Amino acid sequence: MENEHPDPADLAALRAAFAPGPAAAGPALGWHAVRAFEAEHGVVLPEPYRTCVAEIADGWPAGPPEYGLLPLAALPSDWGDDGSARTLRRPFPLTNAWLWEEDPRPAAEVDPLVDRVVEDGSVVLGTDGCGMNWHLVITGAHRGQVWMISGEGAVPFGAEFGLTTGDAGFAGWVGHWAADEEWFDAA
């Protein structure tokens, strides 16, 4: 997956998916704002998400996901405030799906790892409600991948991971939604 240079076909698909219609997209941020965000957090957003928020749309109320695509750095209304700070420059810690609800280790070991999964190395794209949040990994081994993180665990999106027929990455995730496909249609 290419994370450094946007694929023109991906950008065309994103422009089509976020074309003006009954739902209004948040205005694109522009390159100055995107670069300022990146400098503040010590990261470079992966493509094509980076170009999308700079040139196409920063948020989309009609989805994806169920409750809309959030603007850059926004959090779902049900996120809560436990006092922890998100650390975007610290690498996203997972490389495989993890159902921590079934992890046999004591909570004292598991909970700090769960906190890192939720807080480190990703931007929250939006929610399907009930704490089921979609994250775009921006640092770490899965940079550019979209993950569903819920109260039970975390799983990556993309056909290569076995739960969906959709292409991995932001453009594949949006394309799957735009085609009105179920998120996990291969299970």
For residue 3, what pLDDT is reported? 67
Does position 62 have pLDDT exceeding 90, yes or no?
no
Alpha helices (H) in 45-179, listed in sequence order? 49-51, 107-119, 169-178
The domains of the chain are located at: 8-73+86-178
For residue 2, what pLDDT is reported? 65
Does position 187 have pLDDT exceeding 70, yes or no?
no
Segment 1-43, tens digit of pLDDT: 666 789 999 999 999 998 876 566 678 999 999 999 999 999 9
Does position 83 have pLDDT exceeding 60, yes or no?
no
Segment 96-128, tens digit of pLDDT: 999 998 999 999 999 999 999 999 999 999 999
For residue 25, what pLDDT is reported? 66
Segment 50-59, tens digit of pLDDT: 999 999 999 9
Q: Give the relative orientation of helices 169-178 and 8-17 as an angle to the nearest 10 degrees.
A: 40
